[in-house]
């Protein structure tokens, strides 16, 4: 498949990819997180770099090697992710948000380890900033791509997210498909646009999903006025 694509067709483009989970610390030794493996984002970063783009990969804690030629920035919390992405996105042509950003963080991060207390415990959380939406408010020429995992009403919810966040498209998937999504090497996604138009892709390797995503983004960039 790859040989059919023109090589180095992303030369001169700056691409920012976020990947992996965030960790929202409660105290120095405990955090709220999720099982995102980072594989999808690393596949996008690797494919973009091999096609000639200048790639910054902002990654949460994952167990993956940095693809060759990619500049990696490691972060833990959503607030750190936001700072790193917003900064590198200034000069970017394309931003792909595959990171599984925690929606909430602890209202107060304890500076010392909390001892065990009573039989129940309540933790107050506050909402994290929506990074994709923030990039969407001052979009310029950039192409913005998001990912969403939904358990129900996927197309409707993903289209609503594309609208609210001003994303060019969202790649939607479901957590239930074996070998796909969290931790798997394959992905079965549906490309969803803000107007609700959608297109289901077959089950593909994450690398091939990345290649198709980049094909789409490249076409959108080429169609934009300078």
Residues with catalytic function? 34
* Other Cβ atoms closer than 10 A to 124: 8
Q: Residue 27 contacts by C-beta under 8 Å, 6 or more apart in sequence? A: 109, 110, 111, 112, 113, 114
Rule CB under 6 A: say whether 21 interacts with ligand CTP: no
d(CA 217, CA 152): 27
Per-residue x/- track, 160-179, ligand CTP (CB under 6 A): -x------------------
As measured in angstroms, the least distance from the Cβ of 23 to ligand CTP is 14
Minimum distance from CB of 128 to Ca ion (Å)?
9
Contacts (Cβ under 8 Å, ≥6 apart) of 152: none
DSSP label of 179: T
170 is in an annotated binding site: no
Q: Which of 27, 80, 83, 103 touches Ca ion by CB under 5 A?
A: 103
Q: Which of 95, 101, 189, 217 binds ligand CTP (CB under 6 A)?
A: 101
Least distance in angstroms from the C-beta of 101 to Ca ion: 6
Choosing among ligand CTP, Ca ion, none, which partner's interface includes residue 131 (Cβ < 5 to 8 Å by kind)?
ligand CTP
Count CB atoms within 10 A of the CB of residue 142.
22
The tokens describing 117, both together, are 């207390």
Site membership for ligand CTP, residue 132 (CB under 6 A): yes
Q: How many Cα atoms sit within 13 Å of 196 on the Cβ side?
A: 2
Binding-site sequence positions for CTP = 103, 113, 129-132, 147, 161, 165
The residues that touch ligand CTP, with contacts defined as CB under 6 A, are: 78, 97, 99, 101, 103, 128, 130-132, 146-148, 161
């Amino acid at each position: 498949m790859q040989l059919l694509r023109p090589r180095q067709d992303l030369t001169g483009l700056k691409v920012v990819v976020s990947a992996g989970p965030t960790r929202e610390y409660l105290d120095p030794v405990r955090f709220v997180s999720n099982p995102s493996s980072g594989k999808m984002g690393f596949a996008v970063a690797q494919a973009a770099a091999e096609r000639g783009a200048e790639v910054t990969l902002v990654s949460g804690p994952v167990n993956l090697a940095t693809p060759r030629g990619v500049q990696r920035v490691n972060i833990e919390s959503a607030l750190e992710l936001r700072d790193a992405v917003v900064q590198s996105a200034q000069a970017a042509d394309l931003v792909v948000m595959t990171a599984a950003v925690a929606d909430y963080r602890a209202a107060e991060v304890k500076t010392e380890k909390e001892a065990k207390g009573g039989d129940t415990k309540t933790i107050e959380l506050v909402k994290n900033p929506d990074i994709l939406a923030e990039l969407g408010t001052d979009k310029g020429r950039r192409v913005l791509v998001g990912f969403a995992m939904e358990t129900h009403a996927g197309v409707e919810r993903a289209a609503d997210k594309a609208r609210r966040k001003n994303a060019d498209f969202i790649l939607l998937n479901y957590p239930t498909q074996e070998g796909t999504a969290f931790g798997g090497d394959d992905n079965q996604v549906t490309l969803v646009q803000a107007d609700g138009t959608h297109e289901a892709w077959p089950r593909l390797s994450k690398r091939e999903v990345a290649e198709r995503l980049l094909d789409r983004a490249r076409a959108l960039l080429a169609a934009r006025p300078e």
